[in-house]
Amino acid sequence: MKFRILMLVIITLLPGSLRAQRQIRTAIREQTGFGAEQRVRHPVALPSDVLDVLRKNADVQKACLKRVGSADRIPSSWFTASEINLNNDNLQDLVVMSTSENPCLGGANIVPYWVFRNTRDGHQLVLDISTFNLDILRTKKNGYRDIRTEELTAVKILRTVYKFKGRRYRAWRSWERPIKV
């Protein structure tokens, strides 16, 4: 009888324990800081639906079509993706940025970033921004983690926090400070 009770307790607690272990492993592996001078630590393959969105992006087309001729010739190697969990739904969302192999995007102290949430219907673009740094924060709005960006000029740093509102991230608060020399 004691054995049956012990087995029942183990069977009841095991799924929750395995889920907690999986979340801890994901959190340890999850990269939350991205920058113009940082590489993606754990790149993942770019899903085809994400590549389709990037190929249709107006900024990507404006910068890259002269080089490749047509949007369908923009290679996935021009982008790198990292998995992130924006809303604890057990679907891996993505932060995508251009790579050094991309000859037509980026510039001095600026990198284009695209943040995609993963839904049952595929990936949805929720933030499209060019900036120096992008950080996924622990704070949340509407169940989604906040995002902070950092832009640099020769004399100041501009930080902006984005919060999820409905279907996209929107700027919530910005502040700047001078660069001390």
What pLDDT digit, counting tens, does each position of 138-167 carry? 999 999 999 999 998 889 999 999 999 999
Segments making up each domain of the chain, as ranges: 29-178
Q: Give the separation between CA 112 and CA 132, rounded to whole angstroms.
A: 9
Q: Give the separation between CA 141 and CA 162, rounded to whole angstroms.
A: 9
pTM greater than 0.85 (yes/no):
no
Alpha helices in the chain (DSSP H): 2-29, 48-56, 58-68
What the block records as the tokens of 131 is: 């900036």
What pLDDT digit, counting tens, does each position of 104-138 carry? 887 777 899 999 999 999 999 999 999 999 999 99
**Taking the CA of residue 107 as centre, how many other CA atoms within 13 Å lie in the half-sphere pointing to its CB?**
7
Alpha helices in 69-145 (DSSP H): none
